[in-house]
Amino acid sequence: MVLDLVLRRLVELGARLARPGEFSERAFLNGKLDLAQAEAIADLIESSTETAARLARRTLSGDFSRRLYALIDELIRLRTYLEAGLDFPEEEIDFLADSTLGTAIGALLSQLEAVLASAQQGCLVREGLRAVIAGPPNVGKSSLLNALTGSEAAIVTDIPGTTRDLLHREIQIDGLPLHLTDTAGMHSSDDLVEQEGIRRARQEIAAADAILWVSDDSRNPDTQAFNLSALDLPTGSPIPMVLIRNKVDLTGRKPGLTRTAERVEIALSAREGLGIEFLREHLKELAGYQGGEADGIFMARRRHLDALNRALTAMREARANLQQQRSGEFIAEDLRQAQQALGEITGEFTTEDLLERIFTSFCIGK
C-alpha cells in the first residue's frame, strides 16, 4: 500500500509509469545494447531453467552479437572488394578468376553454419520440446505423465476414459524444457464429454513436436494399432512418433529402446518406473539437444534462427553464382541480402512493428 501511495503521488506530480520494456528500448535506441542483447534481458527474466538463465546471460553480455558483428564485418569487407571491382572495371580486378572471393565465401558459410548451430541449441533451451502423450484408453498415458513428472499430476484409475481434458505439465531434462500434455484415450465414443476430449487431443497432437503413442503391451497390439490416418493430422508435417510399449512388468519384456525401419519403440513400465530413462534420453535426441552448458552456446529466439537461415541461403546463392561465373552484380546482391538478414538480429535493420512487438512483450519496469 505504501508503495502504491508513493507511486500515486508521483503520478499526481507529473511523473508517468514506464511502458513495458521502455528502459530496455531506450538502451537499444541509444546504442547501449543491440537488439539481440535487449531481447536477452526479457529471456533472462523469463528463464525457467538454470541453463536458460545462463545462456540468456551470455547473449546479454554480447556473446551472440560479437559473433554476428564478426560475420557482418567480413561481409562488408567482401562487398567493398566486389563493388570496387564493379565500379572501376578499368582496374580489371578479375574477382571471378581469382580465388580470394571463393575462399572468403566458403569461410563465411562455415562460420555462419556454426553460429546457426549454436543458436539452434539456445533456442531449444528457450522454447523446449512439446510432446503429447496419446493412445487408446486405459493404456497408461496418465501414468506415464506421472512417471515423467515424478508426481501424481494426473488421475489414474483402471476405468477407461479417466482422462477427459488436456493436462499440461512442464519438466526439464538436463536443461531442456519439455512441455508434456496428457490426453483423453482415442477411441470412438458416444459420450459428448469424451468426444470433446478426443477432439482436443487431436488438436494438441497437430501442434506437437513429438507424439508419444502409448500402447498396452499386455493386450493384443492389433486392437490398439498405431494408426496415423485415424488421427486425421494435417498433412505435410510429419511429427516424429515414438511407440511406447507400456506395462512391460506384466509381459516380462525387457525395458529398452528398439529402432525399427519405421519408428522408435520404447518398452517401459510407467507404474513401476522401469525404462523411463530410455524415454528421457530419446526425447533429448529427438530435440537434437546436446546439453546447454557447452561453450559457445547462447540464448536465441526463433526470429534469430529465421534471419540466420536467410543469411545462409543468400550466402549459398552467392557461392553458386560465383561457381557459375555469373556477373559480380549477382554476388554483390547476395552478400547485401546476407548482411541485411544479420542486421535484423542486431537491430541495425528493423521495422517499427518488430520493435514494438519485441518490447511490449517485456514486463513493466524493464
Ligand X SMILES: Nc1nc2c(ncn2[C@@H]2O[C@H](COP(=O)(O)OP(=O)(O)OP(=O)(O)O)[C@@H](O)[C@H]2O)c(=O)[nH]1
* Separation CA 21–CA 5 (nearest Å): 23
In the complex, what is the shortest distance from the CB of residue 198 to Mg ion, in angstroms, rounded to a whole number?
Answer: 12
Spatial strand order of the sheet with 167-173 comes to 167-173, 176-182, 129-134, 210-216, 241-246, 264-267, 256-259
36-75 mask for Mg ion (x: CB under 5 A)?
----------------------------------------
Phi, psi of 49, deg, nearest 5 = -130, 160
* Separation CA 166–CA 197 (nearest Å): 7
CB nearer to Mg ion: pick between 121 and 269: 269
CB nearer to ligand X: pick between 141 and 284: 141
In the complex, what is the shortest distance from the CB of residue 192 to ligand X, in angstroms, rounded to a whole number?
Answer: 16
140 near ligand X (CB under 6 A) = yes
24 near Mg ion (CB under 5 A) = no
**Is the sign of the CA dihedral 262, 264, 269, 271 positive or negative?**
negative
185 near ligand X (CB under 6 A) = yes
Write out the three cell numbers for 160: 477407461
Among the listed residues 163, 215, 246, 346, the single contact to Mg ion using CB under 5 A: 163
- Residue 214 CB: number of other CB atoms within 10 A? 31
CB nearer to Mg ion: pick between 24 and 142: 142
CB nearer to ligand X: pick between 83 and 272: 272
The three-state secondary structure class of 49 is coil
CB nearer to ligand X: pick between 251 and 313: 251
Among the listed residues 44, 156, 171, 176, the single contact to ligand X using CB under 6 A: 156
Closest by CA to 227, choosing from 205, 255, 208, 196, is 205
What residues numbered 244-303 form the site for ligand X, per CB under 6 A? 246-247, 249-250, 269-272
Residue 270 binding: pick among Mg ion, ligand X, none (C-beta 5-8 Å cut-off by kind): ligand X
CB nearer to ligand X: pick between 59 and 269: 269
Phi, psi of 269, deg, nearest 5 = -125, 110
Among the listed residues 151, 157, 258, 327, the single contact to ligand X using CB under 6 A: 157
In the complex, what is the shortest distance from the CB of residue 303 to ligand X, in angstroms, rounded to a whole number?
Answer: 37
What is the per-residue DSSP string for 245-271?
EE-HHHH-PPPEEEE-SS-EEEE-BTT
- Which of these segments, 55-63, 74-82, 158-166, 296-304, binds ligand X (CB under 6 A)? 158-166
* Separation CA 40–CA 200 (nearest Å): 34
Write out the three cell numbers for 273: 518406473
Q: Whose CB is nearest to Mg ion?
A: 163
* Separation CA 121–CA 100 (nearest Å): 32
Residue 143 binding: pick among ligand X, Mg ion, none (C-beta 5-8 Å cut-off by kind): ligand X
Among the listed residues 47, 49, 142, 346, the single contact to Mg ion using CB under 5 A: 142
Beta bridge partners of 94: none
Closest by CA to 75, choosing from 38, 40, 115, is 115
* Binding residues vs Mg ion (CB under 5 A): 141-142, 162-163
* Binding residues vs ligand X (CB under 6 A): 137-143, 156-158, 160-163, 185, 246-247, 249-250, 269-272
